Amino acid sequence: MNWETFRNYDALSEGAAALLLDAIRANPKIVLGLPTGNTPLGMYARIIATCSREYHCFRDVVAFNLDEYVGIPRDHPGSYYTFMQRHLFGHVDIEPANTHIPNGIAPDLKVECARYERSIASAGGLGITFLGLGSNGHIAFNEPGTPFDSRTHVVALSESTRRANASFFLDQPVPTHAISMGIGTILESREIVLLASGAKKHDAIARLRSGAQGGDFPASALWSHSNVRVLVDEAASF
Ligand code: GLP
């Protein structure tokens, strides 16, 4: 695991955006795994700014989001579909057909999870996947206790995760379930970049850095992968 500590959130976002854009320059047809949440917002803003100068950045890129809520339509203000349109896809030249997000209102969620896995496989697998980190160590929506070999599945969200995401739902209730790529799905990505910023991630980062692997801390599964970078800012790190 390769650790990089940045001075603050802006520097971390700059570093993350550079990694993502370099990956596209190296392989314009790269398959990305993409996160939501507050942490990647700065990275996405910088990518949009760069791509407005350097057009065609995303022309042949394929993207798979890590997760989506169950039971809300994609145009709901709290959906990850809406998040991605607002913060990235609506501002770059990615083909809508190349943007994949699980369908949280599919009539049969198990079938939807299997379909999502098949789409990733038929795109050639994930090339580089960016992850945020839950303060309980979750990656995507894989809560503590999720098997490290799990595939895309339906998840019951913990109370703490629902609270942490409440700001995206304003006064409306946060969904109780989500579809998430599994830990096994994420570990098959050829490269993984984990981003963590701020004092509220401090304990989770300390636990990750300790190297102790265990099902109670999903991000510790990343220790079994040979190409992981962890980008943290000083507040998360010290
Ligand atoms: C949600 C997302 C995760 C994200 C986490 C941390 O649970 N499903 O993918 O990593 O929030 O969010 P934040 O970056 O807002 O701290």
Q: What is the mean pLDDT of residues 207-224?
A: 98
Q: Which of 13, 39, 155 to mutate to test the pocket of ligand 1 (most atoms within 8 A of CB)?
A: 39
The strands making up 2-6's β-sheet, listed across from edge to edge, are 2-6, 228-233, 191-196, 128-131, 31-34, 62-65, 99-100
Q: Provide the pLDDT for residue 22.
A: 96
pLDDT tens-digit map of 31-65: 999 999 999 999 999 999 999 887 678 999 999 99
Structure confidence at residue 79 (pLDDT): 96
Q: Is the pLDDT of residue 199 over 80?
A: yes
Q: Is the model's pLDDT at 70 over the cut of 70? A: yes
Q: Measuring CA to CA, how many Å separate 235 from each of 46, 159, 230? A: 21, 25, 14
Q: Name which of 32-41, 67-76, 164-173, 202-211 the model is least confident about.
A: 164-173
What pLDDT, on the 0 to 100 scale, is given for residue 18?
97
207 CA distance to ligand 1 middle (Å): 17
Q: Each residue of 117-176: pLDDT tens digit? A: 999 999 999 999 999 999 999 999 999 999 999 999 999 998 988 998 899 898 889 999
Residue 137 and residue 141: Cα distance in Å, rounded? 10
Question: Residue range 17-24: average pLDDT?
Answer: 97
State the amino acid at position 117 in one-letter form: E
| Residue 161 Cβ contacting ligand 1 at under 6 Å | yes
The verdict on the CB of residue 140 being under 6 Å from ligand 1 is yes
Is the Cβ–Cβ distance between 17 and 34 less than 8 Å?
A: no
Percentage with pLDDT > 70 across the chain: 100
Residue nearest atom 3 in ligand 1 by C-alpha distance: 140
Pocket test for ligand 1, best of 44, 81, 133 (most atoms within 8 A of CB): 133
- Average pLDDT of the chain is 96
134 ligand 1 Cβ < 6 A: yes
* Tens-digit pLDDT profile for residues 97-118: 999 999 999 999 999 999 999 9
